[in-house]
Amino acid sequence: MSATREKTTDATDQSLTSDPTRVVPYGDTLNDGRLQLSFSLPVPPSPEAEEAALRMLRAMGLEDPAIVHTRDLLTGGTFFVAYGSWREGVDFTAIKVPKAQSVVLDRKEIETIVESELLGRPIRVIGACTGSDAHTVGIDAILNLKGIAGHKGLESYRGFTVKNLGAQVPNEVLIAAARELEADAVLVSQVVTQKNVHIHNLTRFVELVEAEGLRDRFLLVLGGPRITHELAMEVGFDAGFGRRSFAGHVASFLVQALRGRG
């Protein structure tokens, strides 16, 4: 059986610009370079604060910067909304983003592979939001039957046994549950946090898995709205899935990775 790729249109084919080697922002008119920015400065609202913001925008290389809104943060700081133009451009054709190395299969292909080629039993998957993370939308979308945006979760796939531990699960609890379930894959969902708390938590998770001699036992999959495959690899996971990822993407990776192990 040959794998079929997800039907997508190349990003350059959808571009409005005729020159993908020089892509610039636009607001009112194509290639006008207009940007909207919001930021805070640790100075109280004043004409001097606005001038400081304008100087910062000019130093960033923005042309014709304008402050269009300010708000007193009541803490000695000021919040700004500003506009400016940036016309230098980005070479879109030179961009290469690391992605999980798997072909996106359709649901029927995934279920056929599980039933006919893999373990002779369902794939056992467990997942959670770990540490202090209380955001369950992502892990629920991937694991739960309902899924999201018309894409049902792994619970709906034949050949998958799924356990969702929810939010704020300590790393040790997830690892112990994965061992008890004899999981094939452990899914960790994280929203990027301030001061890189998520990085420390994810690194600690992998360290604990390795310390218990389980690293070769589980496929480790990381997900979240600002997670990238590159980040996942850096902290020791096997794959990372960010925005615009659904259960089918994760299932495709799992069946192909497990088939590769066999």
To the query of whether residue 146 is one of the catalytic residues in this protein, the response is: yes
- 238: Cβ contacts below 8 Å, ≥ 6 apart: 219, 220, 221, 232, 257
Catalytic residue among 96, 99, 146, 152: 146
By the 10 Å C-beta count (0-12 exposed, 13-18 middle, 19+ buried), 94 is classed as: exposed
CB environment 202-217: b (16+ within 10 A), e (fewer): beebbeebeeeebeee
Q: What are the backbone dihedrals phi and psi of residue 38, each rounded to the nearest 5 degrees, phi first?
A: -130, 140
How far is 66 from 36, CA to CA, in rounded Å? 10
Pairwise CA distance, residues 157 & 199, whole Å:
31
By annotation, the residues acting in catalysis are: 146
